[in-house]
Structure formats: C-alpha cells, structure tokens
Amino acid sequence: MEVLTTNGVTIKVESSYQKKHSSPKENRYVHAYQVTIINEKDTTIKLTERLWKIIDSTGEERRVSGKGVIGKQPELAPGDEHRYVSWSPMATDIGKMSGFYTFIDLSDNSTFLVDIPEFKLICPNKLN
C-alpha cells in the first residue's frame, strides 16, 4: 500500500492484478486499485476533479481526467474517509500510476491539489 499526505489530506492506494479480466495473449493486463481518501483538515472539503497519469513499461503515457471519482464528488467533513475501487487496463504487464485530486475547501471556497502517490501495476508472474 502506498500512502501520501498533501495539504492535510491523506491518500492510500492499493492495487491488485485482475487475472480473470486480463488476456496476456492479447496484451491486455487489468489492475484494480482501491483508494482511501482521509480528510485530516479542520474544515469540510469536496473532491471536484481527478487527473491520473498511467505509464506502461514501454514508456507510453495515458492521462485520464474528469469530474470527481467514479461519478461522485464526495464531501468529507474533518476526520471523514471516502473509499472507492476502480480499474485500469494496460498493454504491458508492468506499469505505474500517479496523479492528483482537486479539492475545494468549503469554509472559504479555495481550491487546492492533493497528490496521489505513485503505485506499481505488476503482474504476479513478474515478481518471481
């Protein structure tokens, strides 16, 4: 599990290879990842946008951005957590992801960024 705190918000990410959704013969490797967002600030915040950078072992980079996460823009009061699971397909058996979330501090409507820690996407056979 990778963990990083930025601007009073902690992000935890854990990834897992999804063998039943992958097809190495077709260069399709699918990884799921669970993200936990913890508000350690003294104010309520709202996640408004995300940007992911996904890099495979050939160096090819994809960027995925959009509103919120999995169709939601969660509000987190002080001490609250929001957890979700998503997934990413890749054409290689090794890769990595990182990025950032954009939040609004609802006490003063200021916008701030929170880094998502880089995490590896590795097929289990590569770990032997």
Q: What is the pLDDT of residue 124?
A: 83
Distance between CA atoms of residues 40 and 21, nearest Å: 36
Phi-psi region of 26 (alpha: psi -120 to 50; beta: other; left: phi over 0): alpha
Task: Give 77-99 pLDDT, tens digit per residue.
Answer: 999 999 999 999 999 999 999 99
Helices (H), the chain: none
CB neighbours of 28 closer than 8 A, spacing ≥ 6? 22, 89, 90, 91
pLDDT band at 127 (very low <50, low <70, confident <90, very high): low
pTM: 0.92
Please give the domain boundaries of the chain with CATH numbers for all domains.
2-120 (2.60.40.1470)
3-state SS, residue 40: coil
